[in-house]
Amino acid sequence: SSGAVQTGATAVLPHSRNLFKEKVPAAAHVINGFGKTVGIVQIEELGQIETPIILTNTLSVGRCSEALVEYALKQNPEIGRTTGTVNPVVAECNDGYLNDIRGLHVSKEHVWQAIAQADDSWSTEKEGAVGAGTGMSCYGLKGGIGSASRVIKIDNEEYVVGILALTNFGRLEDLIVNGKRVGPAIQSQIKQKDSPPDQGSVIVVLATNLPVSDRQLGRMARRVSAGLARTGTYIGHGSGDIVLAFSTANLIPHEFSQAVRKINIIDDGALEGSFQAVVEGSEESVLKSMIRAKSVTGRDGHHRYSLQEFLDLIEER
C-alpha cells in the first residue's frame, strides 16, 4: 500500500489440506446485512465451508471470488466435470475513505499470494493495517485486522476458540475501552467533529477445534454481537456485520463412503465456556486491530490516527 492505494486481501485457511475434499462444519450469522459477502447462502443451507475464506474491500469481492474458483479448479480437476461446482467464500468491508477503492487494486495474484503465505504461526506483524485491513477505519480511527483466542477445558480436554476480525465500523464518540467510554476524550483531543451515522462494517471469523455441529457454531456466532457491543457499537443501519464460523473437528468428506456418518458432538450445556470465549475474543480482536495499526494518510489526504497514540489518555480515565 502507498498513498491512495490502501487495500489488500487476507486469507483464512481452516486447514492446510484440500478444503474441497475435506470440508469443515460451518455457520454464517448476519448481525446487520449491509454487506456483499459471497457464499453464505450455501453455508447456511449445508453447514460447511469448502474453500479458504478471503477478506477484502467491497469492490474487489468479484475478483477475489474468481481467484478462489480458479484456485479450487487447479486443485480439483473433477469440479464441473464429474462432480459439482464450488462455493467460494469472500467477505468485505468498505475501505474507500483511505483507499482508492474505484481503482480495483486487488488482483487474483494477491489472493493466491495470501493463500500461499497462510500458516499456523502468529506475530504482531499479522495484525493491524495488513492485508484486507490496510485501508480500514474503526471508530473514526485506524482499523484493520485483529485476533484473539481463549483456551477452554471440557472434561479435562483443552480446546481453543479463536477470533479474527476485520474492523471498519463505529463512531468515535461511542468508543469504549475496558468498560470506559474514551471516545469523547479522544474526539476532543484531535478536534474531530461528530461522526456521521455508523456506515462501516465488521467481518468476524470464528475458528475452533471443538467438536461442534453447524447449529452449535451458529449459537457461538450469535454471541459475537455481545463482544462488539462491549466496544461501543450499536450496530448501525449502514453497517455490514457478518460472522463466519467453522470447526476443524468432524471434517466432512466430499465423496461419502457410507450414508450414515458417526461424529462426536459436545452437549449444548457444555458450550457455556465457548460463549464467554467468543464474547471476550470479539472485544479483544476489535481493540487489537486498532492498537496494532499505525496512523496513516491515504486517498486525498484522508488521515486516521492509531488508537495507540491515545493509550495514555485511556489509562487516565
Catalytic residues: 201, 239, 241
DSSP string, 62-96: HHHHHHHHHHHHHH-TTBTTTB-----EEEEE--T
Q: Are 299 and 98 in contact (CB under 8 A)?
A: yes
The distance of Cα 276 from the centroid of its chain, to the nearest Å, equals 18
Question: E strand or H helix at 176, and its extent?
Answer: strand 176-177
How far is Cα 25 from Cα 49, in angstroms, rounded to an integer? 7
How far is Cα 118 from Cα 72, in angstroms, rounded to an integer? 16
DSSP annotation of 2: B
The distance of Cα 210 from the centroid of its chain, to the nearest Å, equals 19
Nearest CA to 123 out of 149, 107, 95, 147 is that of 147
Instruction: Kindly state the cell numbers that stand for 66.
Output: 474468481
Instruction: List CB contacts of 214: < 8 A, sequence separation 6 or more.
Output: 25, 26, 27, 47, 48
